[in-house]
A and B are shown apart, each in its own frame.
Chain A
C-alpha cells in the first residue's frame, strides 16, 4: 500500500473547517496551515496549494479570518491569518454541524453498534 492510498479526499466545505480549526491555536501563515493539517492528520489529509490560498482569501473576504504581514520565526515577511470573532462563531457552528454529520454517518454505516 503506497502512502498516497490512505489519503482522504477533502469533502466540499471541509477545507474551510480545517483552516478555521488550525487557526484556533493562534495566527499562522498559509504554508504552516498546510503543514499542520498534514502533520496532525498523519499525512491522511493533504491540502492542495491550489485550493488553500483561494480558500484563505475567500474566508478573509467573508470576515471570518483577518490577515496581517508579520515577520516569521525565521525573520521573513509572511502573511499571517488569525481568527476573528465571527470566525470563532462560525467555527463553533460548522464544527457542531460536522460532528452531527459524522455521528449520523457512523450510525448509518454501523447500525449494529
Chain B
C-alpha cells in the first residue's frame, strides 16, 4: 500500500516535471518564431504577437499534448479531474448556473425525501421490532345522514371505541399483546393566563412494553398504572423535558397537572421518541386515570367520544390475515347483538403495518400534501436535469473545435465522452454540496410548514437525505452528461476543424425536446400553483354560516371538578366586553363557534324513530341575540326573543341539517321535541299535541362547524339559555360551559388584548388561549391551501426561472450561431423588427408546444391533486390554466427578447465583409 502511494507520488512529481518541460519547449518555439519574424523585418512586439497568433491556443495545446503522454488510469483520471476543475473555474458563470440549478433541484428533493421516508418508509424511532407490530383498522360503511343508515362511503379508521377494543383484548390466542393510545391532543396545563398547553396522549398500561420502548430516565408507564387505585403518574417526552427542565434529572418526581389532577413524572422518553406515530406528544398518561377524570368521563360505558388507536402483536404462528378474519367475525357478531343500527354490520378488521400512512385508511391532508410536494420537487428536479443537460450540450457545441482536435489526435470516442462525464461529476460534486446546504434549510422549512406537530429525532440532514442527495446528484449528472457525451462522440465523423458551422443542427432536436419538456413541466407547476391559489381564495371567501370576519369568542368552560359558573361574574364580563370600543354586541352560548360543541344523550323528535348517533345532534343553549350576533341566518320561522324565558312555552330552533335529517321534505316549524331527561323518562314519542313538549319555532342555517365540506354541516338544535338552565333536567356539565360570542366592528384580532385583560381580572384561572378571533381559527383551517399555495408558487417560480434560463440559453446560442445569417438578411432588406419577430416566434413556438404537452400532462396529473383542492375547484379549472399559460408565455417572451434584440442589431456590413 505504502509503496503504491509512493509510486503515485513519484509519478505525480514526474508529471509536474514534464509539464514544466513542455512549457519550456513552447517558450523556446515562440522565441525561435519571434526571432524569425524579426529577421523578416518586424518590430519585436509585432513579431511576438504574430508568433503567438500563429501558435494558437497554448492552454489547449498543453491539454492535448498531455493526453498523449499515456498515463495509467489513475493519472488520467487525476488529469481529467484537474482539467475539469480548471474548466469549471474558467467558465464560472456557466458552472454557477449548472451548480445552482442542480442544487435547487436536488436540495429540494433531498429535503422532501427525508420527510416522505419518515412518513411512508421508516418505522417510528425507538420501537423494538416494529415489523411485528400491527395497527388495527376497521373498514366500514359510513353512516349516511340523509337516510340514517350505514350505507355511505367505505371508510377505514384506526380508532376504536372501548367496546370494540375490548373484543381484541378478549382474544389472547391470536393477539399476544393489545395496546392502545389516543392521538396526542393539546390540553391546558397549569392555571391562569401564564398556563401552557401540552400535547397529551393517553395510553394503555402495556403500550410501552408492547412497543419495546425504553425510557431514557426513570420508567415508562406500566400495566400497574392502569389500576384505578394506582397513584397518577406521567411519562414525558424528551422535547418537553428539555423545554421545562433544561434536560435535568430532577424532572423525576416533579408533577404535571391537567383538569385539577396532578400526575407525578416517573420517566423521560429518549430523544425523538414520539410513540407509534411521529406526531408529537409532550406527556403520556395512563388511560385508566383519564377515564376517571373529566376529559374521559364515562367513555368506557357509552362507547362514544373517546376512541383508542389499537396496536397488536400477534401470538406465535398466527398470520395477520387469520387474526384479522377472527377479529372481523368477532366485531360483526358483537354488532349484530347490540342495538347499533347506525354502524355497519359488515365491517371488516384489517391489520396493517405500524406506519399509519401505509394502512388502508385514506391519507389525511398532512400526509397527502407532502406527497404532492414530493411530486413538485420531482418536477423541479426534472426541469433542472433538462436544463443542465441543455447547458452541457451548448457548451459541447461551442467546444466543437477543441473536441475535434482531441479526436484528431486519437483521443477516441470514449476519451472525449469520459472527459465530459468527469466534468459533469465535478459539477455534480459541487452541486451535491450546495444541495445539502440547501436541503438543510429547505428541510427545516418543510418540516415546520408541512408537519408542524412531528417530533424529529435528528436534524433535517439525516443519513437518508444525505445519501439521497449524493446518489441523486451523481445520477442527475450522469443523465445530464449522457446526451452531450453521446452527441460529442457522434460528432467525431462530422467534426471539422473549421469552427462552429453545423453545430446547430447537431443535437438540436434533443435540445429543443428538452426545452419543450421544461416548458411542459413549468406549466404543470404553474397550473398547480394557480389551482391552489384558487382553492385558497374560494376557502377564504367561503360562507361558513358565521360572520367569520367579525367574531371573537371567549370560552369560559371548566372541568367537572370545578364549581359551576357564577352567572353574575359571566354577566359582568359580558358587560365589560360590551363596553369596549369596537364591540357591537355580545351573545352567550354553551358552544363555541368553530370550537367546542356539547352533545346530550337525550333527544326524541316527533315523526322520527331514529336520530343520528355520531356527529350530532349537538345542543347549544343560547341567548336571544345569539343568531344575530353570530351572523347565523334564520331560514324559517323565528329565532329566539327575550320573551322565551323560564315559565313560558319551551321552544327550540333547529338548523337546516337537523331539519333535513329528521324531517326530510317536511316542515320543521311546529314540530315537537323531548329534550334531556324527558326523552328517556317519557314513554311515548312526542307529537305536537303532547302538552309540555319543546316546540320548534325556527330553522337556522347550518354553519360549517368542523370542516369545510358540505358533509361537515352537523345537526344542531338550540334552546334559549334561560329556559335551558332552569326548565330542563340536563347534565350538570352544561352549567360549567359558556362562551361569549363577540361581534366586532373591525378586525376582531385587535380586540383580543383588551378582552384578555378583562378575562384575567374576572377569571384569573383561565388561560390566555380562551380568547380567540374567528379569522385566526379559520386561518388554521384553510392552512393546507395557504401552505400549498406558498409551496407551489415557490416551486413554480423556481421552475419558471429555470425554464426561462434554459430557453434563453438555447435562443441566445441560436442567435450567436446565425449572426452572419441575420446580417445577410439585413443586407437583403429585412427590417430589425422582422428579425426580432423571427427569434421571438421561435422561442414562443417551443413554449407553445410545451404548453400543449403540459396541459395534457396536467389533466392527467390532476386527479392526484384533486382531493387537495377546495370543493368546487376542478383540477381542470380553465381560469387557472389560462393564468398559467399567460405567465409562461410572458416568461418565454422575456427570455427570447434579449437574444432577439441582439439578432435585430445584426450588422449587415460585418456580414458582407466576413463572406
Minimum CB distance partner of B32 in chain A: A31
Number of interface residues of B (CB under 8 A): 28
The residue that B21 contacts in the complex, of A50, A74, A79, with Cβ under 8 A, is A79
Measured in the bound complex, the distance between the Cα atoms of B404 and A50 in whole Å is 12
> B56–A50 contact, CB under 8 A?
yes
Q: Specify which of B54, B65, B405 lies most central, judged by the most chain A CB atoms within 10 Å of its CB.
A: B65
Determine if A2 is an interface residue (Cβ-Cβ < 8 Å).
no
> A54–B70 contact, CB under 8 A?
no
Chain B residues positioned under 8 Å from A72 (CB to CB):
28
Measured in the bound complex, the distance between the Cα atoms of B61 and A6 in whole Å is 26
Minimum CB distance partner of A69 in chain B: B21
> A79–B54 contact, CB under 8 A?
no
Minimum CB distance partner of A57 in chain B: B68
Which A residues, 34 to 71, have Cβ-Cβ distances below 8 Å to chain B? 35, 48-51, 53-55, 57-58, 61, 69
Measured in the bound complex, the distance between the Cα atoms of B410 and A78 in whole Å is 27
Determine if B26 is an interface residue (Cβ-Cβ < 8 Å).
yes
> A49–B55 contact, CB under 8 A?
yes
> A54–B22 contact, CB under 8 A?
no
Chain B residues positioned under 8 Å from A110 (CB to CB):
none
The residue that B68 contacts in the complex, of A54, A76, A78, with Cβ under 8 A, is A54
> B57–A50 contact, CB under 8 A?
yes
Determine if B445 is an interface residue (Cβ-Cβ < 8 Å).
no
Minimum CB distance partner of A74 in chain B: B35
Measured in the bound complex, the distance between the Cα atoms of B24 and A49 in whole Å is 15
Measured in the bound complex, the distance between the Cα atoms of B19 and A53 in whole Å is 13
Chain B residues positioned under 8 Å from A55 (CB to CB):
68, 409
Chain B residues positioned under 8 Å from A58 (CB to CB):
68, 409-410
The residue that B64 contacts in the complex, of A12, A50, A76, A77, with Cβ under 8 A, is A50
Chain B residues positioned under 8 Å from A76 (CB to CB):
28, 31
Measured in the bound complex, the distance between the Cα atoms of B32 and A78 in whole Å is 10
Determine if A88 is an interface residue (Cβ-Cβ < 8 Å).
no
Determine if B67 is an interface residue (Cβ-Cβ < 8 Å).
yes
Determine if B33 is an interface residue (Cβ-Cβ < 8 Å).
yes
> B54–A49 contact, CB under 8 A?
yes
Determine if B13 is an interface residue (Cβ-Cβ < 8 Å).
no
The residue that A31 contacts in the complex, of B24, B28, B56, B409, with Cβ under 8 A, is B28
Which B residues, 14 to 46, have Cβ-Cβ distances below 8 Å to chain A? 21-22, 24-26, 28-29, 31-33, 35-36
Measured in the bound complex, the distance between the Cα atoms of B54 and A78 in whole Å is 20
The residue that A50 contacts in the complex, of B61, B68, B410, with Cβ under 8 A, is B61
> B67–A54 contact, CB under 8 A?
yes
> A77–B28 contact, CB under 8 A?
yes
- Knowing A50-B61, A53-B61, say if A12 contacts B28 (CB, 8 Å): no
> A61–B67 contact, CB under 8 A?
no
> A54–B29 contact, CB under 8 A?
no
Determine if B408 is an interface residue (Cβ-Cβ < 8 Å).
yes
Interface string of A7-46 (1 = CB under 8 A from B): 0000010000000000000000111100100000000000
Secondary structure of the A side of the interface?
helix
Chain A residues positioned under 8 Å from B69 (CB to CB):
57, 61
- Knowing A12-B408, A29-B28, A77-B24, say if A53 contacts B65 (CB, 8 Å): yes
The residue that B28 contacts in the complex, of A35, A50, A61, A79, with Cβ under 8 A, is A79
Interface size class of A (residues with CB under 8 A): 20 to 34
- Knowing A29-B28, A79-B25, say if A54 contacts B65 (CB, 8 Å): yes
Determine if B60 is an interface residue (Cβ-Cβ < 8 Å).
yes
Chain A residues positioned under 8 Å from B64 (CB to CB):
50, 54
Measured in the bound complex, the distance between the Cα atoms of B55 and A10 in whole Å is 17
Chain A residues positioned under 8 Å from B57 (CB to CB):
50
Measured in the bound complex, the distance between the Cα atoms of B410 and A35 in whole Å is 25
Measured in the bound complex, the distance between the Cα atoms of B33 and A48 in whole Å is 13
Chain B nearest CB, measured from A91 CB (Å): 19
Q: Specify which of A12, A51, A53 lies most central, judged by the most chain B CB atoms within 10 Å of its CB.
A: A53
Measured in the bound complex, the distance between the Cα atoms of B29 and A30 in whole Å is 7
Measured in the bound complex, the distance between the Cα atoms of B405 and A12 in whole Å is 12
Chain A nearest CB, measured from B680 CB (Å): 103
Chain B residues positioned under 8 Å from A32 (CB to CB):
32
Chain A nearest CB, measured from B49 CB (Å): 15
- Knowing A12-B408, A58-B409, A61-B70, say if A53 contacts B32 (CB, 8 Å): no
Measured in the bound complex, the distance between the Cα atoms of B20 and A69 in whole Å is 13
> A51–B408 contact, CB under 8 A?
yes
Minimum CB distance partner of A62 in chain B: B70
Minimum CB distance partner of A29 in chain B: B28
Minimum CB distance partner of B63 in chain A: A54
Chain B residues positioned under 8 Å from A31 (CB to CB):
28-29, 32-33
The residue that A49 contacts in the complex, of B61, B68, B408, with Cβ under 8 A, is B61
Chain A residues positioned under 8 Å from B36 (CB to CB):
35
Chain B residues positioned under 8 Å from A61 (CB to CB):
68-70
Chain B residues positioned under 8 Å from A51 (CB to CB):
405, 408-409
Minimum CB distance partner of B65 in chain A: A54
Measured in the bound complex, the distance between the Cα atoms of B70 and A54 in whole Å is 11
Chain A nearest CB, measured from B836 CB (Å): 39
Minimum CB distance partner of B57 in chain A: A50
Chain B residues positioned under 8 Å from A79 (CB to CB):
21, 24-25, 28
Measured in the bound complex, the distance between the Cα atoms of B678 and A31 in whole Å is 118
Measured in the bound complex, the distance between the Cα atoms of B65 and A105 in whole Å is 32
Chain A residues positioned under 8 Å from B61 (CB to CB):
49-50, 53-54
Chain B residues within 8 Å of A, Cβ to Cβ: 21-22, 24-26, 28-29, 31-33, 35-36, 54-57, 60-61, 64-65, 67-70, 405, 408-410
9 additional A-B residue pairs with CB within 8 Å, beyond A30-B28, A57-B22? A30-B25, A31-B28, A35-B36, A53-B65, A54-B67, A54-B409, A77-B24, A79-B24, A79-B28
18 contacts between A and B (CB under 8 A): A12-B408, A29-B25, A29-B32, A35-B36, A49-B55, A50-B60, A50-B61, A53-B25, A53-B29, A53-B61, A54-B67, A54-B68, A54-B409, A58-B68, A61-B68, A61-B70, A78-B28, A79-B25
- The 8 A-B residue pairs with the shortest CB-CB distance in the complex, in nearest-first order: A58-B68, A31-B32, A57-B68, A54-B65, A61-B70, A50-B56, A31-B29, A79-B25
